[in-house]
């Protein structure tokens, strides 16, 4: 096999039980382990987009109610979006650890990396301002009225080299539990020789990583299903409701909604709320997978993802590229500027990078060779007439901190049981009732408040159920019989 054919592959060793045809464990190095860890950094919107495509081994996969939420956002008319960047932020959410993923040998995240745009008339604009306006979304408006559409690049860029160190071998169980055991494979394999096992060396190419990812989301025996079965035996997850008693409430903020459900069986038809309700549901698409697992106290019930996350929490920081890498993975944040102004759930966003815009004041002609981003401040009094002004990054979803959101009020919005979000209309209500064969006489309504506990409950059920609102808010519908 030539060098080009192995360039985009990683190899690992499997220990397989020959009698049961199950993977007992695998040994892999940095390249494969970095791929597994990168799954945790992907925002839910990115996951829906990626697994919604057919791949070599698996058909397109739907992720609970998130797939229908994603599709409804894609179909939402732009007049209901707060800014022209909001749809892109929900459908192409950025990875807060994109710098770490970009250098991976097998990276499945196809989201465009963050770029910075400045005013097309920057020379004149910068002379009158103490700072330089920039946007990470093209064609936002500058204060001078021109568009922020000219790409500006950093003076230099540092690409992180993945997550774990190069000289460490890892033992990975069938359910994706990672353990760093340097040079332990030979010893471990010798202990298992009497138990009808065999060793296999396998290669994984980039195009196969998507199948591995699908298996990790849907299977409890990811390595066996991926390497041996070549198919997914999906297990129905009955545990869809979150144990609310384990969640500490740290905020009094909540959202009021009207929930309409069937009296006969307690199934929620839809919930009605203001823009803050639609914002909250839509914001799920921006949450990184690892951050969701942390919010849910390691009980997301998504395939083998909980175990993978816990093994990162338990792994000694010495095995990571740097100590701060583990901290970032354990508490994965939203990408900068992606957090709602009134987010119910306790999830943070990464800090916006601090840059200066450099240019040479002796050359008034706009030239990309003169302008670039730098982290170094250069004062006005220097022989080379070099200037650096602070970069002020325009908020892509609002100009007011308290009004940061994705959709535009005062329109009322509805969300169906499977989280299809759309503006409230009579025709939409009738469509839901007809599609579910529900009589108006069977409907009951109740006003409920969604706080942290209820928000987390909806979030969890959205990952694994097509009835996110029924399972997420059912405990609040007290006049519905418990056995329904």
| 57 secondary structure, DSSP code | S
Tell me the pLDDT tens digit for each residue of 299-334: 999 999 999 999 999 999 999 999 999 999 999 999
pLDDT for 194 equals 62
Cis status of the peptide bond prior to 410, with omega within 30 of 0: yes
Kindly report, residue by residue over 375-427, the tens digit of the pLDDT.
Answer: 777 666 655 567 778 888 989 987 565 567 999 988 899 999 999 999 999 99
Calpha distance 313→297 (Å, rounded) = 12
391-406 CB burial, b ≥16 within 10 A, e <16: bbbbbbbbeeeeebbb
Spatial distance between the Cα atoms of 156 and 153, rounded to a whole number of angstroms: 8
The Cα-based distances of 288 to 25, 43, 145, 321, 398 in angstroms read: 27, 4, 35, 21, 22
Angle between helices 206-218 and 305-314 (to 10 degrees): 100
Q: pLDDT value at position 473?
A: 94
Instruction: Indicate whether 241 pLDDT > 70.
Output: no
In this structure, what DSSP letter does residue 229 have?
A: I
Q: How far apart are the first and last CA of the chain?
A: 60
pLDDT score of 5: 52
Q: What is the pLDDT of residue 369?
A: 47
Place of tokens 């499977």: 418
Are the C-beta atoms of residues 340 and 400 closer than 8 Å to each other?
no
**pLDDT tens digits, 143-197:** 888 899 999 888 776 778 899 999 899 999 999 999 987 555 555 666 566 668 8
* Two tokens, residue 391: 């970069």
Q: Is the pLDDT of residue 474 over 70?
A: yes
Write out the H or E segment, with its range, that includes residue 445: strand 443-450
| β-bridge partners, 89 | none
pLDDT at 372: 75
Per-residue pLDDT at 374: 80
pLDDT at 483: 43
Q: In sequence order, what E strands does 294-442 have?
A: 356-360, 372-374, 386-393, 413-416, 421-423
Q: What percent of the chain has pLDDT over 90?
A: 62
Tell which wins on pLDDT, 313 or 141: 313
Q: Are strands 386-393 and 132-135 parallel, antiparallel or unpaired?
A: parallel
The reported pLDDT for the residue numbered 250 is 57
Question: 66-70, 135-139, 178-182 — which is least confidently predicted?
Answer: 178-182
Percent of the chain with pLDDT over 70: 82
Checking if the pLDDT of 280 tops 90, the result is: yes
pLDDT of residue 75 exceeding 70, the answer is yes
pLDDT at 217 (0 to 100): 95
Residue bearing tokens 């599609």: 435
Query: Is the pLDDT confidence value at 29 over 70?
Result: yes
379's tokens: 């004062």
Tally of helices (H runs) and strands (E runs) in the chain: 17, 17
| pLDDT, mean of residues 201-215 | 93
* 294 Cβ neighbours under 8 A, 6+ residues apart: 309, 330, 331, 332
What's the average model confidence in pLDDT over 73-78? 95
For residue 167, the 8-state DSSP code is T
pLDDT (0 to 100) of residue 484: 43
Query: What is the model's pTM?
Result: 0.91
Report pLDDT digits (tens) over 341-373. 889 999 999 998 888 888 766 655 544 446 778
């Amino acid at each position: 096999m030539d060098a080009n054919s192995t360039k985009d592959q990683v190899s690992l060793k499997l220990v397989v039980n020959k009698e049961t045809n199950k993977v007992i464990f695998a040994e892999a190095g940095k390249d494969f382990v970095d791929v597994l860890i990168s799954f945790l950094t992907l925002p839910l919107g990115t996951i829906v987009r990626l697994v919604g495509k057919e791949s070599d081994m698996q058909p397109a996969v739907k992720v609970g109610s998130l797939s229908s939420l994603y599709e409804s956002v894609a179909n939402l008319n732009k007049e209901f979006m707060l800014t022209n960047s909001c749809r892109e932020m929900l459908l192409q959410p950025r990875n807060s650890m994109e710098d770490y993923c970009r250098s991976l040998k097998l990276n499945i995240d196809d989201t465009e990396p963050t770029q910075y745009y400045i005013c097309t008339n920057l020379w004149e604009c910068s002379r009158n301002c103490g700072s330089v306006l920039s946007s990470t979304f093209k064609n936002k408006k500058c204060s001078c009225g021109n568009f922020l559409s000219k790409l500006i690049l950093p003076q230099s860029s540092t690409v992180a080299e993945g997550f774990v160190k190069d000289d460490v071998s890892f033992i990975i169980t069938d359910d994706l539990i990672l353990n760093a055991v340097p040079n332990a494979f030979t010893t471990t394999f010798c202990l298992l020789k009497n138990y009808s096992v065999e060793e296999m060396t396998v290669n994984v190419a980039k195009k196969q990583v998507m199948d591995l990812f699908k298996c990790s989301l849907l299977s409890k025996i990811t390595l066996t299903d991926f390497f041996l079965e070549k198919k997914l035996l999906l297990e129905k997850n009955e545990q869809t409701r979150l144990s609310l008693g384990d969640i500490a409430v740290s905020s009094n903020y909540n959202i009021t909604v009207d929930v309409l459900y069937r009296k006969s069986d307690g199934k929620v038809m839809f919930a009605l709320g203001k823009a803050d309700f639609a914002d909250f549901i839509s914001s799920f698409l921006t949450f990184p997978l690892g951050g969701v697992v942390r919010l849910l106290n390691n009980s997301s019930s998504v395939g083998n993802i909980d175990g993978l996350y816990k093994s990162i929490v338990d792994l000694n920081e010495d095995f990571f590229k740097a100590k701060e890498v583990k901290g970032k993975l354990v508490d994965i944040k939203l990408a900068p500027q992606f957090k709602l102004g009134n987010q119910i759930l306790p999830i943070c966003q990464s800090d916006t990078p601090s840059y200066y815009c450099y240019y040479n004041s002796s050359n008034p002609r706009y030239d990309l060779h003169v302008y670039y981003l730098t982290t170094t401040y250069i004062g006005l009094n220097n022989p080379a007439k070099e200037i650096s002004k602070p970069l002020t990054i325009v908020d892509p979803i609002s100009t007011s901190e308290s009004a940061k959101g994705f959709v535009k009020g005062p329109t009322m919005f509805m969300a169906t049981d499977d989280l299809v979000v759309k503006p409230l209309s009579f025709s939409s209500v009738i469509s839901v009732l007809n599609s579910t064969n529900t009589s108006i006489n069977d409907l009951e309504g109740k006003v409920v408040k969604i706080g942290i506990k209820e928000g987390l409950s909806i979030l969890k059920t959205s990952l694994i159920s097509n009835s996110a609102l029924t399972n997420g808010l059912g405990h609040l519908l007290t006049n519905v019989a418990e056995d329904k």
